[in-house]
Amino acid sequence: MLTVIIALLVIGVLIFVHELGHFIAAKLMGVKVEVFSLGFGPKILGFKKGETEYRVSAFPLGGYVKLYGEHPETLPSVVEKDKAFAFKKTWQKAFIVVSGPLANFILPVLLFWFLFWVSGSYLLSTKIGEVLPDSPAEKAGLAPGDEIIEVNGKRVKSFDELVLYLKSKETVNEVLLKIKRGSQVLEVKLVPETKEGYNVFGKKTHVPFIGVKSTQEIVHQKHGFIEAFKLAIEKVIDITTLTFIALFKLFTGDLPFSTLGGPITIGKMAGDTAKLGFYPLLSFTALLSVNLGIINLLPLPMLDGGHLVIFSIEAIRRKPLSLKTQELIFKIGFFIIIALSIAVFYNDILKLLSGWKLP
């Protein structure tokens, strides 16, 4: 039960923020918002204020903002053209559409900002605890107690960053490490070995190996208000970059489709994270928000990214697509979304049948 409640709360917040982005942008562009709904399907409860009906609907895994004059079939009945979405300029329509995903990027920046400012960072020290015998590190003269400061000119703040850097590369011809040894700062060059291991996405592959282990020392760093904001932006950029790389690897087949999860997976992860505490749950919510923003920007019909593609085509053609073409595009998009939804639900069910239990 805890899993369901936590999952609905997390998903509800993300949906609300996404739709609020569309809502605010629509208001700024002078478009009438007819309905603001959390959830799909039949209305459970709601109220009307001004020209907008605010409602909670039966199926919580989604939401929508219904704009006046948005759908092709409603255009013949449009009376107030100045308030209709379809009659706005292309850049105004694009702004309204992109504001939903944009809100899903703003939220994690704010959440990570809060987390870095209030609780700081807990990092695995970059000090070397052990140098493996006959390894590239030993041959290069590295020793226990050396603190790694930079790798190939990139500052590393934690041992995890060093590991992540190596796992993200299939081959590294040479690594230049800047290390601190006592009061000295030295530069050490080494050539990693290539060994069988797992990359950053969990796929078995060959990864560079230098042969050092961490001291397992945890360092707590506090951050000021401004520094925390900068770190939050960097964190969101890193997550976004990794997500796009993962999507590319899914497309090329380097990452199996079975790694994708749906609402059940999200629910389990939310429940597990909630048990760790409030701050980890906020971090998970931020991560999920970035993913939601990216997914909505994919150039698929019915998603925000699909709308942006259509607006781009209209801008190039300098005239809107025909109603028949738009209807066909959205029917194709609906089919794709349903197919993807079935696929991720199938992955969830397989995980449950394999003995994966919900908390």
Answer yes or no: do 41 and 8 share one domain: yes
| Catalytic residue check, 19 | yes
Answer yes or no: do 25 and 92 share one domain: yes
Answer yes or no: do 46 and 140 share one domain: no
Task: Provide the pLDDT for residue 27.
Answer: 94
* Number of domains observed in the structure of the chain: 2
Answer yes or no: do 56 and 133 share one domain: no
Q: Is residue 157 part of a domain?
A: yes
Q: Is residue 128 part of a domain?
A: yes
Rg (CA), the chain: 25
Instruction: Identify the active-site residue in 19, 70, 130, 161.
Output: 19
CA angle (178, 181, 187) in 5-degree steps:
25
> What pTM did the predictor assign?
0.80
Answer yes or no: do 207 and 265 share one domain: no
Q: Is residue 209 part of a domain?
A: yes
Q: Is residue 228 part of a domain?
A: no
Answer yes or no: do 103 and 127 share one domain: no
Separation of alpha carbons 166 and 194, rounded Å = 10
Task: Provide the pLDDT for residue 358.
Answer: 46
Task: Give the containing element (helix H, strand E) for 193.
Answer: strand 193-198
Q: 304: exposed, middle or buried (C-beta count within 10 Å: 0-12, 13-18, 19+)?
A: buried
Q: What is the β-pairing status of strands 128-131 and 204-209?
A: unpaired
Low-confidence ranges of the chain (pLDDT < 70): 1-3, 72-76, 168-172, 197-205, 253-268, 271, 345-348, 350-359
Answer yes or no: do 142 and 215 share one domain: yes
Separation of alpha carbons 109 and 103, rounded Å = 10
Answer yes or no: do 82 and 59 share one domain: yes
Task: Provide the pLDDT for residue 262.
Answer: 63
Separation of alpha carbons 112 and 230, rounded Å = 10
Query: Structure tokens of 329?
Result: 């595009």
Answer yes or no: do 155 and 94 share one domain: no
Q: Is residue 62 part of a domain?
A: yes
Task: Provide the pLDDT for residue 209.
Answer: 82
Task: Provide the pLDDT for residue 70.
Answer: 80
Q: Is residue 235 part of a domain?
A: no
Separation of alpha carbons 39 and 57, rounded Å = 5
Single-letter residue type at 75? L
User: Which alpha helices (DSSP H) does the chain contain, by range?
Assistant: 2-28, 90-118, 136-139, 159-167, 225-252, 263-276, 278-296, 304-317, 323-353
Q: Is residue 206 part of a domain?
A: yes
- Give me the sign of the Cα torsion angle 308, 309, 314, 317: positive
Other C-beta atoms within 10 Å of 115: how many?
22
Answer yes or no: do 81 and 22 share one domain: yes
Give the SS3 label for residue 176. Answer: strand
> What CATH number has the domain bearing residue 168?
2.30.42.10
Answer yes or no: do 139 and 184 share one domain: yes
Question: Cα dihedral angle (303, 295, 55, 81), rounded to 10 degrees?
Answer: -30
Q: Is residue 230 part of a domain?
A: no
Host domain of residue 143: 122-219
Looking at 219, 236, 269, the residue that finishes a domain is 219
* Residue (of 217, 256, 33) closest to 126 by Cα position: 217
Answer yes or no: do 79 and 17 share one domain: yes
Q: What are the DSSP calls for 56-103, one per residue?
A: EEEEEEEEEEEETT-SGGGGGG---GGG-GGGS-HHHHHHHHHHHHHH
Q: Are 227 and 233 in contact (CB under 8 A)?
A: no
* Residue (of 189, 124, 182) closest to 150 by Cα position: 189
